[in-house]
Amino acid sequence: MKLVVINPNSTASMTDKIVEAARAVACPGTEVEGRTAHGAPASIEGHFDEVMCAAHLLREVQEAEGQGADAIVVACFDDPAIGACREVATGPVLGICEAGVKAASMIATSFSIGTTLPRSVPVIEELVRRYGLDHQCRRVRSAEIPVLALEQPGSDARARVRAEILRAIEEDRCEAVLLGCAGMADLTEWLSAECGIPVIDGVTAATTFAEALVRAGLRTSKIGAYAHPIQK
């Protein structure tokens, strides 16, 4: 099985971190290939960045599809252009927010989400509503850190994320926490040990769900909304 994990921003170091997280949970025999959306913004922090990354992301999806990808993971918690990605792909395409919230709903009756900047909070809240899990999501919280701070040695990003999760446990009384940024993927094990409740990373959730869909012989429906784009 060939699984392609695409980072929709242009920061290659983040791609490396994401791919490492995916490979750590992939089944033996699954080839995990990472791709970076070169030309996209360095980070995706808001609606403008989502639009600006879309064409570059779709190019990577089409190339991955042409090179035999069985499934694709779009590794940004905003799930940018996910519908368009599914139109151009035949195998499953998973966004890490959708995979993460659905994983959380299956292991806990309530969860909170910890993300980066405050401007990401309403975007994620809308996604949770779209996925039908707002009744289980206690709160979307911001650690008030830029995405790229997660890539900077010596920043206090890790400590801020940990502090926000501890506040979520105390104030939200949630049973699990979902990390609301692909750039947090390498913090999952440490945060789980530090905080004492399940801490979920959307990259690893999407990786394992994508493998399961492929093994079940399921592909993206091409009747209706995810039909191939009309040639013009």
Residues in the chain, total: 232
pLDDT at 227 over 80: yes
- Per-residue pLDDT tens over the stretch 44-55: 999 999 999 999
Residue 80, helix vs strand vs coil? coil
Of 118, 121, 148, nearest to 41 by C-alpha is 148
Give the pLDDT confidence of 186-206 residue by residue, as tens digits.
Answer: 888 999 898 899 999 999 999
How does DSSP classify residue 41? -
**pLDDT, tens digit (0-9, with 9 covering 90-100), for 141-159:** 998 888 888 877 778 888 8
- 3-state SS, residue 32: strand
Query: Which DSSP category does 170 fall into?
Result: I
Going from the N-terminus, what domains does the chain have, and what CATH number goes with each? 2-95+205-215 (3.40.50.12500), 97-201 (3.40.50.12500)
Q: Is 90 exceeded by the pLDDT of residue 62?
A: yes
Confidence of residue 183 (pLDDT cuts 50, 70, 90): confident
